[in-house]
Amino acid sequence: MKYPTYLRSGGTIGLVAPSFGCSVDPYKSCLEAAEKRFEGMGYKIVEGPNCRKNEGIGISSTPENCGKELTEYYCSGDNDMLITCGGGELMCESLDYVDFEAVKSAKPKWYMGYSDNTNFTFLLNTICDVASIYGPSIGAFGMEKLEPALMDAIDIFTGKKQEVSGFDKFELESLKDEEHPFVGYNLTEKKELRLFMGEAEVNRVPEFSGIITGGCLDCLANLVGTKYDKVAEFNERYKDQGVVWFLEACDLNVMSIRRALWNLDRAGWFKNAKGFIIGRPLCAWKQEMMGLDQYNAVTGILGKYNVPIVMDADVGHLAPAMPIVSGSLTTVSVGENITIKYK
């Protein structure tokens, strides 16, 4: 695995929009506020051509334009790292226009994004053997006051931290809208981890480690069996370390979560699993359908591996989320909270 250089003082952050762009409020205002914040911290900002566009279907521009922007900005020497403008719906369609050979040959740089950006954060790991950051899009840094989770993300890509932990509370409903683009998280819910070994719920799980990878299940399930599915090769490369999987869901209901996991499991993705970190699901939170909930939707498929499964973790769409250094050698410790150490 190749690890990018940390962003240095005075470095340049490139912004790209392979998924949604920041064309309307609150996203446009948040983008501009975030740019001012990073410039005030001494960094330079360069925007890709699609960052303020809304010309595509589920993404900022055409798949061709999005793939071209992503390739050129990743391979360019004019920026030191990339942060995505946002999530979206159909970034998968741009993959045919990303030159993965050029990306693989380029000097590694941090790429940070989540949700639909799984289509690049995950493939950087499995195709290019390059680490990435599953973390916030640029607009999140436009808040009036940076939340601790956002400070963690900055500390990760600047090299100030190699360890992150979860948080005490989380939000179910964001207060951000066009009239209030800069508000912080609406932390109304107490975070409580649920721990499993196999299908049995337990009070504690042992520490576990391996190469961490994963992302949004909505995206990962679409990649199975395509020419972009290089997980078998990834598993072979890292069979000695094993794999820690982090997974979270956006639009999927509990049935869809179970089907997606079944799909990945039958494709052999989890053969070297050392443990699972499962984030709070956005649409399936506390959902029950025909005897299935967010917990047995997962354990019913993954329980057979008899490894730790940490559920309702601070990963994904229900903020705050820990930044995940996807592709790193990772040790996970769990008590009342979860701590992830990256090496």
What DSSP string describes 56-115? Answer: SSSSSS-HHHHHHHHHHHHH-SS-SEEEES---S-GGGGGGGS-HHHHHHSPP-EEEE-G
Residue 52: give its domain's CATH number: 3.40.50.10740
> What average pLDDT does the structure give for the chain?
97
Whether residue 110 is contained in a domain is answered as: yes
Q: Do 175 and 135 fall into the same domain? A: no
Q: Do 310 and 178 fall into the same domain? A: yes
The answer on pLDDT for 118 being more than 90 is: yes
Q: For the chain, give the percent of residues with pLDDT over 90.
A: 98
Name the residue range of residue 223's domain: 169-342
Which of 129, 161, 193 is where one domain is finished? 161
Q: For residue 269, report the phi and psi dihedrals to the nearest 5 degrees.
A: -65, -35
Our count of domains for the chain comes to: 2
The pLDDT value given to residue 336: 87
CB 257 within 8 A of CB 298: yes
pLDDT tens for each residue of 194-249? 999 989 999 999 999 999 999 999 999 999 999 999 999 999 999 999 999 999 99
Whether residue 86 is contained in a domain is answered as: yes
Q: Work out the pLDDT band at 275, boundaries 50, 70, 90.
A: very high
pLDDT tens for each residue of 24-57? 999 999 999 999 999 999 999 999 999 999 999 9
Q: Give the span between the Cα atoms of 140 and 85, in whole angstroms.
A: 10
Q: Work out the pLDDT band at 114, boundaries 50, 70, 90.
A: very high
The pLDDT value given to residue 155: 98
Whether residue 2 is contained in a domain is answered as: no
What residues are labeled active site? 115, 248, 317
Read off the pLDDT of each residue in 320-326 and give the average, rounded to a whole number: 98
Q: Do 74 and 180 fall into the same domain? A: no
Which of 161, 196, 217 is where one domain is finished? 161
Q: Do 188 and 157 fall into the same domain? A: no
Which of 161, 183, 199 is where one domain is finished? 161
The answer on pLDDT for 116 being more than 90 is: yes
CA angle 298, 301, 303 (to 5 degrees): 85
The answer on pLDDT for 93 being more than 90 is: yes
Residue 198: give its domain's CATH number: 3.50.30.60
Read off the pLDDT of each residue in 110-114 and give the average, rounded to a whole number: 98
CB 97 within 8 A of CB 61: no
Whether residue 5 is contained in a domain is answered as: no
Whether residue 102 is contained in a domain is answered as: yes
The pLDDT value given to residue 317: 97
**Burial annotation 37-71 (CB, 10 A radius, 16+ → b, else e):** bbeeeebebbbbbbbbbeebeebbbbbebbbbbbb
Whether residue 3 is contained in a domain is answered as: no
Q: Do 266 and 303 fall into the same domain? A: yes
Q: Do 176 and 260 fall into the same domain? A: yes
